[in-house]
Amino acid sequence: MRGEVFLPRSGFAAINEKQAEAGKPLYANPRNAAAGSLRQLDPGITAARPLRFFAYQVGSIERALAPRAHWDALRWLKALGFPLSPDSALCATLDEVWERCRWWQERRDALDFEIDGAVVKVNQTGLQEELGQVAREPRWAIAFKFPAVQGVTRLDRIEINVGRTGALNPLAFLDPVQIGGVTVGRATLHNEDQIRRLDLKLGDWVVVERRGDVIPQIVKVLAERRDGSEREYHFPTSCPTCGSTVERVAGEAMSYCTNASCPAQLKERLAHFAGRGAMDIEGLGAERVAQFVDAGLLGDVADLYLLHERRDALLALERMAEKNTDNLLRAIEASKGRPLARLIFGLGIRHVGERNAGLLAGRFASLEELCRASLEDLVAIPGFGAIVAQSVYDFCQEGRNQALIAKLAAVGVRPEGGRPPAPTDGPLAGKSFVLTGRLDSLTRGEATARLQALGATVAATVTKKTDYVVVGEDAGSKAERAAALKRPTLDEPALLALLAEAEGGGTPGAASPDEAPVPAS
């Protein structure tokens, strides 16, 4: 079951009062205080905090039928005794949805807890499945964000942070200002163009906007408040960390440090590699990475796996007691077998986020195989754009990266997963399927896995090249599209028969799915 732990405004005030009495630092807002309360090492402290919880979704169900609609799931959770937001509503039309969102917005300040929007969800589970998700974002739920909260303050200075790709990210340092109960002291400026677009000068009065949880932004300069003391800002032409030349790629807004071994980039790359979603190495945060780089222990991500040979050097560092050191070395060792998709994501190839890394891992069995791919191979991956394909190709062509990939293998990084072996010669090789609607005897994930294991590809959209469209219950627009494009469809019994035949192999004709389909009515 999924839900959210929160701290009511009243509870927040009480906690801060106690913090003040004990001479401890105050929490900036209820969200921080709730997170801080959960993070306590002593569960007794957590238990003593006035935390509350709302369930909002069934996570997964075993040995029971899932409710067919979100609203049913909520009623079920309520019947089981879980606390729910008392103000959830079932809306039948978009007008009702709008009205409900406005209703929330009006009473926002009257609630005993802070909200920055409302979540609108598709009710029918079948339609939710149909809509699916992109990366980790479901397409059947969307946040209705309330208007941003703004504040006015002065820009003190601009500092440059060099990212893992070498991008120079300008960051604005502001005189601290309270916006919606949060102290804002920094804002992102994105890039050089943004600074120019805003006509931003050091010392300017600016309007700062905070939208939800994103980093605050400067949206406007109050030019009428200038008194002549403001100074021009000049974007650096050399890397503030290593002094190398800065280059701006034609057509891109970002400037990049051109030094491949720039320590600032290296630190960011290592932190990304070790971070969540990538190799997920516990205890290896940005600070520790910086410490190791500065001590000359890490020159690239593969060096992490050689750290065990430098245990004495690690122990000589600050805050690296024996226990810390050994825990960290164990965590690094354990990351050697992370799935291929996470390793690819961890390499930090430009334009390759978690989703694209997953697509690559679904197509190639290993980094070595990926590196042998031609540009045409990459462009042919469904869902891959030309820019992404080019970026991956360029990465793989670079000798430095090839050396890194060889080094990763040499130090024992053996990702699990990647494309299952030899699907291209299965009995359904070359056939493409699209699944839509709900199946009774197997989930869509199971159906996909079985089809892929037989060499078929499973795509998200129906095209003229689709061989079969599997149509389950409550099927939506994909079934209509299949009819419009005159693509053969399979109902559930036909799909099961096809799978059974193909998995059984052997029998004459079984390997030819062309004979199996039952035309849809």
Residue type, 315: L
Q: How many whole angstroms separate alpha carbon 287 and alpha carbon 306?
A: 19
In this structure, the strands spanning 489-490 and 205-210 are unpaired
Cβ nearer to Zn ion, comparing 239 with 343: 239
**DSSP SS3 for 5:** strand
Q: Residues in the chain, how many?
A: 521
Q: How many whole angstroms separate alpha carbon 481 and alpha carbon 149?
A: 43
β-partners of residue 164 are: none
Cβ nearer to Zn ion, comparing 257 with 344: 257
Cβ nearer to Zn ion, comparing 239 with 352: 239
Using the contact rule CB under 5 A, the part of the chain among 4-12, 176-184, 233-241, 278-286 near Zn ion is: 233-241
Q: How many whole angstroms separate alpha carbon 51 and alpha carbon 6?
A: 6
CA-to-CA dists, residue 332 to 51, 85, 90, 166, 430, angstroms: 35, 41, 48, 25, 40
Show the tokens assigned to 238. 């050399």
Binding track, positions 192-231, relative to Zn ion; x by CB under 5 A:
----------------------------------------
Shortest Cβ distance from residue 369 to Zn ion (Å)? 32
Which 322-381 residues touch Zn ion, going by CB under 5 A?
Answer: none
Q: How many whole angstroms separate alpha carbon 33 and alpha carbon 86?
A: 23
Cβ nearer to Zn ion, comparing 262 with 284: 262
Cβ nearer to Zn ion, comparing 257 with 494: 257
**DSSP SS3 for 177:** strand
Kindly report the backbone phi and psi dihedral angles of residue 500, in degrees, each rounded to the nearest multiple of 5, phi listed first: -60, -45
Shortest Cβ distance from residue 242 to Zn ion (Å)? 3
In this structure, the strands spanning 246-248 and 432-436 are unpaired
- The alpha carbons of the chain give a radius of gyration, in whole angstroms, of 27
List of residues 6+ apart from 400 with CB closer than 8 A: 260
Cβ nearer to Zn ion, comparing 160 with 257: 257
Using the contact rule CB under 5 A, the part of the chain among 135-143, 240-248, 330-338, 424-432 near Zn ion is: 240-248
- Asked whether position 257 contacts Zn ion by CB under 5 A, the answer is yes
Cβ nearer to Zn ion, comparing 259 with 335: 259
Cβ nearer to Zn ion, comparing 150 with 258: 258
Shortest Cβ distance from residue 256 to Zn ion (Å)? 9
Binding track, positions 107-136, relative to Zn ion; x by CB under 5 A:
------------------------------
Taking the CA atoms of 134, 136, 141 and 147 in sequence, report the sign of the dihedral they define: negative
Residue from 58, 148, 202, 242 binding Zn ion (CB under 5 A): 242
Using the contact rule CB under 5 A, the part of the chain among 258-266, 284-292, 328-336, 475-483 near Zn ion is: 258-266
Cβ nearer to Zn ion, comparing 125 with 255: 255
Cβ nearer to Zn ion, comparing 266 with 373: 266
Q: How many whole angstroms separate alpha carbon 319 and alpha carbon 325?
A: 9
Cβ nearer to Zn ion, comparing 101 with 289: 289
Using the contact rule CB under 5 A, the part of the chain among 225-233, 238-246, 329-337, 419-427 near Zn ion is: 238-246
Cβ nearer to Zn ion, comparing 112 with 247: 247
List of residues 6+ apart from 443 with CB closer than 8 A: none
- Whose tokens are 């609630």? That residue is 111
- Whose tokens are 């996470």? That residue is 342
Shortest Cβ distance from residue 265 to Zn ion (Å)? 6
Using the contact rule CB under 5 A, the part of the chain among 35-43, 225-233, 259-267, 344-352 near Zn ion is: 259-267
Binding track, positions 78-97, relative to Zn ion; x by CB under 5 A:
--------------------
Using the contact rule CB under 5 A, the part of the chain among 48-56, 241-249, 330-338, 357-365 near Zn ion is: 241-249
Shortest Cβ distance from residue 169 to Zn ion (Å)? 13
**DSSP SS3 for 282:** coil
Q: How many whole angstroms separate alpha carbon 42 and alpha carbon 39?
A: 9
Cβ nearer to Zn ion, comparing 262 with 454: 262
- Asked whether position 153 contacts Zn ion by CB under 5 A, the answer is no
HSE-up (13 A, CA, CB side) for residue 104: 24
Residue from 177, 262, 469, 482 binding Zn ion (CB under 5 A): 262
- Asked whether position 239 contacts Zn ion by CB under 5 A, the answer is yes
Shortest Cβ distance from residue 261 to Zn ion (Å)? 9
β-partners of residue 468 are: 433
Shortest Cβ distance from residue 160 to Zn ion (Å)? 10
Using the contact rule CB under 5 A, the part of the chain among 49-57, 236-244, 329-337, 369-377 near Zn ion is: 236-244
H or E segment and range at residue 202: none
Smallest CA-to-CA distance from 501 within 428, 421, 420, 431 is with 428
Shortest Cβ distance from residue 274 to Zn ion (Å)? 20
H or E segment and range at residue 294: helix 286-294
Smallest CA-to-CA distance from 285 within 264, 302, 268, 298 is with 268
Site size toward Zn ion (CB under 5 A) is 7
In this structure, the strands spanning 117-121 and 141-145 are antiparallel
Q: Which residues of the shown chain bind Zn ion in the complex (CB under 5 A)?
A: 239, 241-242, 244, 257, 259, 262
